[in-house]
Amino acid sequence: MTSQESLPHLIEILNQKYEQVKLGGGKKKIEAQHQKGKLTARERIDYLIDPGSHFLEIGAFVGDGMYEEEGGCPSGGVVTGIGYVSGKQCMIVANDATVKAGAWFPIAAKKNLRAQEIAMENRLPVIYLVDSAGVFLPMQAEVFADKEHFGRIFRNNAQMSAMGIVQISAIMGACVAGGAYLPIMSDEAFIVEGTGSVFLAGPYLVKSSIGEDIDAESLGGAAMHCEISGVTDNKFPDDKSCLDAIKRHIDKIGKPQSAGFDRKTTQAPSRKPEEIYNLLPTDRLKPYDVLPILECIVDNSELDEYKPDYGKTLICAYARVDGWAVGIVANQRKMVRSGKGEMQMGGVIYAEAADKAARFIMNCNQKKIPLVFFHDVTGFMVGSRAEQGGIIKDGAKMVNAVANSVVPKFTFIIGNSYGAGNYAMCGKAYDPRLIFAWPTAQMAVMSGATAARTLLQVQTATLKAKGQTITPEAEKELLSQITDRYNQELSPYYAAARLWVDGIIDPVATRRIISAGITAADQAPIEKPFNVGVIQV
């Protein structure tokens, strides 16, 4: 982050990019939807959710900068997120027909699977608003046959139904080929007259395959499927009447069970959340105290620290967020003095800090307290003294505790998230219920500067091995090229485009997202006992 890129400036860029994403395929495509009498995906969601409620979008920046040769795929061509419908939290999945007619790109399949994963973990009803031309054929090899490809969506449909998770589909546009199974494998399927259609093969394919001439409405329109085939349950004259019916059905769903997480009356933080803008330094190498930042997020700005005088490069604390009890694990970015009187670098996990965090995570599991992680970590301490002190062993203990944790975990990447530090702090590979990045986030194996110097040494050695000489000027140019490429991959937008995180947020939204996440998680009772397995002590 340069001196000009203050946090408010980065948030301004975030808001501008989000406004562009919301246009989907562009204003002309939106107008074309309206001319057909159809609402856009985002308009359907706005109409569906309860007035005044907030839609927690998942994957808004999916596809950012990807598929440029195919014309781009804003938001992966599908809008997903958690919203309140008739007073109940639901996962909503809406194809965006303004983006390649809602066709499924590889990242679209990954995004849909992420939405289903969140619904399954939290036992949320799922509402599919279907308007898709099916698989994007030029990239079918990246969408079709593998375990995490398109077919997994239908497998999840079946498993969610068996789990008792309600799924309701509205066929509001095209629904073709394999994509036809998604709404029909839902528990209930509605269809909009005139615009909705569902069939395994469209009129052109039917003509070429068996020589039959038939129009789309007769082949798979609302009247045929509601009156003859019985494939769909009810038909509606327009989008809004169909969405109204979904609201009525969701309204009648019984109350979910409770996981029993503790909640008291909410209290606003004593520190204003906007103070974060000044507390997080613009220079990402500059040390800072993470405690005041946490005080801008938790109720009454109160934190009960666990082992505050031990393992100081990690903050472990009990607190409340919007009334919910939470256990917080956060990297401390200021220099601290260890119990042995040695100065320790902020943002680095030392052996005693890893040991402390592992114990704290175990305690939170025992007490049934959800965990919240805040990343600004450059990794574990390295060097002979750290290795002799057993840093690998203590780091493994922390990773073990995170991996086997059964309480819900929520992750926020607020700065660096490098190497094994990402794993220990509950990165995407460790199943956080939700994972979001602040605009200041960076994710990689190591920092850009360190990686660039390492890669330069490797490339220079390779050239010399071939008998080539490299001048200082050429070496400088090569370093610049490596640094530019690596820094691009460090961007939070690069991570969000690939669903390494669920989105990029204004830090002020952190408190609301934690509360929404725990509210959802409280609907899924914990069924698995906490067991950390074998730990080298």
What is the tens place of the pLDDT at every residue in 44-82? 999 999 999 999 999 999 999 999 888 899 999 999 999
Q: How confident is the model at residue 2 (pLDDT cuts 50, 70, 90)?
A: very low
Q: How confident is the model at residue 1 (pLDDT cuts 50, 70, 90)?
A: very low
3-state secondary structure of 533: coil
Average confidence (pLDDT) over 276-305: 94
What whole-number distance in Å separates Cα of residue 313 and Cα of residue 434?
Answer: 24
Integer angstrom CA distances of residue 131 from 108, 110, 127? 13, 18, 13
What whole-number distance in Å separates Cα of residue 348 and Cα of residue 334?
Answer: 10
Q: How confident is the model at residue 448 (pLDDT cuts 50, 70, 90)?
A: low
Integer angstrom CA distances of residue 74 from 67, 167, 294, 298, 373? 10, 26, 33, 34, 29
Burial 521-530 (b: 16+ CB within 10 A, else e): bbbbeeeeeb
Give the E-state strand segments of 166-252 in sequence order. Answer: 167-176, 188-192, 197-199, 234-236
The CA-CA-CA angle for residues 444, 450, 452, to 5°, reads 90
When computed from its CA atoms, the radius of gyration of the chain, rounded to whole angstroms, is 25
pTM of the predicted model as reported, rounded to 2 decimal places = 0.93
What whole-number distance in Å separates Cα of residue 331 and Cα of residue 417?
Answer: 10
What whole-number distance in Å separates Cα of residue 377 and Cα of residue 387?
Answer: 19
Burial 212-239 (b: 16+ CB within 10 A, else e): eeeeeeebbbbebbbeeeebbbebbebb
Question: 239-251 and 41-48 are packed helices; what angle lies between their axes, rounded to 10 degrees?
Answer: 40
As a whole number, the mean pLDDT across the chain is 91
As given in the structure block, the two tokens for residue 124 are 């949320």
Provide the β-strand partners of residue 480: none
Average confidence (pLDDT) over 406-419: 96
CB 168 within 8 A of CB 126: yes
What whole-number distance in Å separates Cα of residue 89 and Cα of residue 119?
Answer: 10
Average confidence (pLDDT) over 504-526: 97
How much is the pLDDT for 3? 42
Return the closest-CA partner of residue 380 out of 360, 362, 402, 353.
353
As given in the structure block, the two tokens for residue 337 are 């003095």
How much is the pLDDT for 116? 97
Q: Are strands 343-344 and 336-337 parallel, antiparallel or unpaired?
A: antiparallel
Q: How confident is the model at residue 463 (pLDDT cuts 50, 70, 90)?
A: confident
* Backbone conformation region of residue 169, classed left if phi is above 0, alpha if psi is from -120 to 50, else beta: beta
What whole-number distance in Å separates Cα of residue 419 and Cα of residue 397?
Answer: 16
- Residue 531: other Cβ atoms inside 10 A: 8
Provide the β-strand partners of residue 90: 83
The CA-CA-CA angle for residues 417, 421, 425, to 5°, reads 85
